[in-house]
Structure 1
């Protein structure tokens, strides 16, 4: 064999080996590397006690995913003051009772949720190359049809202990000296989002005067983020992107599956000056159950009041 051909064969073999190793890591290791990401924000009114917000998203649960269930069960030990779920909880109808059982301790705490497309429609095999298009959604998505999953049952199980359903609506939760005013929308990826009417200017403040305004959506499309900012949100929470699901060192997320910039595909950033937390989520479709350089996560946000100014 000529040296050049031998070298090419070695390089090709190394390339195939690297590709195989990457596949094994993404499909069998990283997809199970469940991580708690912790964030601190000083956005509460002065003098307000700290609040721990647990942000869950994109669980995509199948009933046999025991390591994911163990991680979800462990999260209840955090004892958050508030839980926000930004959708895509399930990947099959059989997952609903399993999800409700493992979330039971968290469902007893104050919380709220919005829906994602996979709370309504069963996942289907897709061509991964579609996500590289400017719009990965199939034509006619503005009329997705009747849900193929029992979304009503899921909604009932998530709300039976008091979690607020934020589907195109507003709600509020009192957290001992802090009123959390929530506004949410149905899944923007399916173009089901309808921003609720603004609160009347005459809406009174609570007696203690302390208010935190949260905007909640599954998919962080620009139009939705703009609406939350215009509505006066202090913090916006979303999911959907899976953090890009596949990330390349030095490049980051290759796609976001929406129109948010790739650099904001996961983690804490700002949108028009308002803090935005995009969860990389805890799972993926069973037909593309892999991750690379973006492990599955939940987020614990500790919200605090500003630091007191130094006395001069």
Structure 2
């Protein structure tokens, strides 16, 4: 009798595991969501500014549903579009990415790239996500057509913030933006753009693909008021009622996605930060659990 109960228990657990995997890989990974946050970062008396933050498409040919969903976000009529990288997951994905972004290319925009804009995804041991990470250099030559994507976005007038700064005028307001190349690959060179920025624009925005603390700390110290990042996938496989276990960088899991302050306990002068959980996954790990794919509309409002 005891052996029978044990067998039934194991069978039940196996069934639950299979059901969870089917849900994660068959439904949730395609259950795209729009998140909305109000962020009180503008000067008193300012009119709202709407920022659409898109990250981690990880697009492969044939993902027409994802492309269509992103295109539909044009109905939000954002004032600014920022993409924080990992657009590609296949050598032939650039046309699909441009199709997804096409409705926004007449809107002011800015971008940085992530590791999967440069390098094709590869199979890896899932346990590696549980190991410490600190940003690592990759010696291999990039094999994805990132220059093609870059050139199209630049031609549309979007700011390329790869280890650089730029300015935009939106609704009569002066925006100063700075970004870095992907810290996860050790390609960030914030020293090329660092300078105190308080009082030099109506709004200052720091942009990075991976939210490594060395970059966030430096941007916040320079006075950037809003920090935008992706990369984490929100933890991708989360525990219901608990949240993410890992962030795939040195940011703590409590801030793996959504809006927070940086430094986390920096007081009223701390920067506001939004980390996107992103819209895709590696083709070799095509599942999400308790962490739906997302894009975010940030409505910046007066302090």
Match of 2:193 among 191, 197, 203: 197
Cα distance in 1 for partners of 2:194, 2:134 equals: 32
Picking from 153, 156, 166, the partner of 2:148 is 153
| Contact 2:234 2:247 (8 Å CA) reproduced | yes
Aligned counterparts, 1:220-235, within 5 A: 220-235=211-226
**Aligned pair in 2 of structure 1 residues 200, 293: CA closer, same or farther (>3 Å)?**
closer
Equivalent-residue separation in structure 2 for 1:98 and 1:69 (angstroms)? 7
Give the TM-score, by structure 1 length.
Answer: 0.91
2:207 is matched with 216
Residue 144, structure 1, aligned to residue 139, structure 2: yes
How big is the shift at 1:145? 2.4
**1:4 aligns to what?**
2
**Structure 2 residue corresponding to 1:25, chosen from 20, 23, 26:** 23
Deviation sequence 1:67-116 (CA, Å, 0-9, x none): 21111111111110000100000111211012112211111100000010
TM (norm. structure 2) is 0.94
Runs of 4+ in 1 over 2 A off after TM superposition: 196-201
Distance in structure 2 (CA, Å) of the matches to 1:114 and 1:69: 19
From the superposition, tell whether residues 70 and 39 of structure 1 become closer, same or farther in structure 2 (CA, over 3 Å): same
Separation of aligned partners in 2, 1:135 and 1:204: 35
Whether contact under 8 Å (1:144, 1:190) holds in the other structure is no
After TM superposition, give the deviation of residue 250 of structure 1 in Å: 3.1
Alignment coverage as a number of residue pairs: 296
- Cα-to-partner distance string for 1:190-230 (whole Å, 9 max, x where unaligned): 000011333478x985xxxx610001000000000001101
Unaligned runs of 5+ in 1: 307-312
**What SS does structure 2 have at the residue aligned with 1:282?**
coil
Partners of 1:248 and 1:197 in 2: how far apart?
38
Structure 2 residues not aligned, in runs of 5+: 264-269
CA RMSD of aligned residues (A): 1.6
2:165 is aligned to: 170
The 1-side partners of 2:213 and 2:115 are apart by 18
